[in-house]
Amino acid sequence: MTLWLVLGAVLIAGWFSNRYAWWRRQVDPRHPRVLMYHMVSPHRPGAKFNGLRVTPEHFEAQLAWLQREGWQFFTVSELWEQWDTLPAKSVALTFDDGYADNLHNALPLLEKYDARATIYMVVDRHERDWSTAKKAHHNTGELAREPKLSDEELQRLVASGRIEIGSHTLTHINLRTTATDDKRRELAESRRLLQAQTGQAVTSFAYPFGIYGEEDVALAREAGYTTAVTTLDGIDTRTPCPDPLQLKRIKVSGKDNMLAFVMRMRGGKRGWKK
């Protein structure tokens, strides 16, 4: 009996520690944080990708906390341009893929909290199910059915003056399985098309699935990007300064509660990961 109680307590403590990483040392707030989001929307019952859906209520609570704690918002390009003179508590919010809820659910909250963000757009994003490009068994069509930003909606985001548009390739390619010439085209063409559409310089890139190698970093630079974000979990140091084409991000999961978010802002990552 006692043995089971002890075992149960150990299991619960282990789960709690892994989830909240409370033991992780706080990373100095002088080091900027880059947060990674996908959708801001209510969860769909039984859906596979609810981890990518941060509810509007959670998103608002996160923005309110950031504002209350004195974090200042930057786009990724602004963050890099001002890297040497960034104030303590600098944060960049990023959204991958180009979901319609970024306009309908996220933008009103960004406005309410005077925040800014970078959205990494897949140019050819409609009816496309990129989850299958990584793992064939992901073929449920869920992400294909998820509404994406129309070109007109993209314009409204740009017109808000608080959104930087970055590229996430033409078709959300898997860089590991794509020929070099095709990579070149995906990187350069997506940049050119998004610049034409937005009238803004497009200088930031997000590696689809976070999959990339050395060659891809060089190709991104060659295509004219000055910053690129990965899905490497963590916080880059102000000094020594990181490779701006391999910036780390803090994953914000739709399954996290507020405590998990705060711990992630403190320590950069979840669980036991190095």
Q: What is the smallest separation between the CB atom of 153 and Zn ion, expressed in angstroms?
A: 18
CB 151 within 8 A of CB 198: no
Which structure tokens are listed for 183? Answer: 């990579």
Question: In the complex, what is the shortest distance from the CB of residue 96 to Zn ion, in angstroms, rounded to a whole number?
Answer: 4
Going by C-beta distance under 8 Å and a sequence separation of 6 or more, which residues neighbour residue 99? 38, 39, 41, 146, 147, 148, 149
CB of 272 to Zn ion, least distance (A): 25
Q: Select 67 or 140, whichever has its Cβ closest to Zn ion.
A: 140
- In the bound state with Zn ion, the residue whose beta carbon lies nearer, of 97 and 236, is 97
Residues that bind Zn ion (CB under 5 A): 96-97
Using Cβ positions, the residue closest to Zn ion within the complex turns out to be 96
Contact 250, 36 (CB under 8 A): yes
Report, in Å, the least distance between residue 247 CB and Zn ion: 15
> Whose Cβ is closer to Zn ion: residue 98's or residue 244's?
98
Q: How far is CA 245 from the centre of its chain?
A: 15
Nearer to Zn ion, 73 or 130 (CB): 130
Q: 85-88 — which CB contacts under 8 Å span 24+ positions? A: 86/30, 86/32, 86/238, 88/29, 88/30
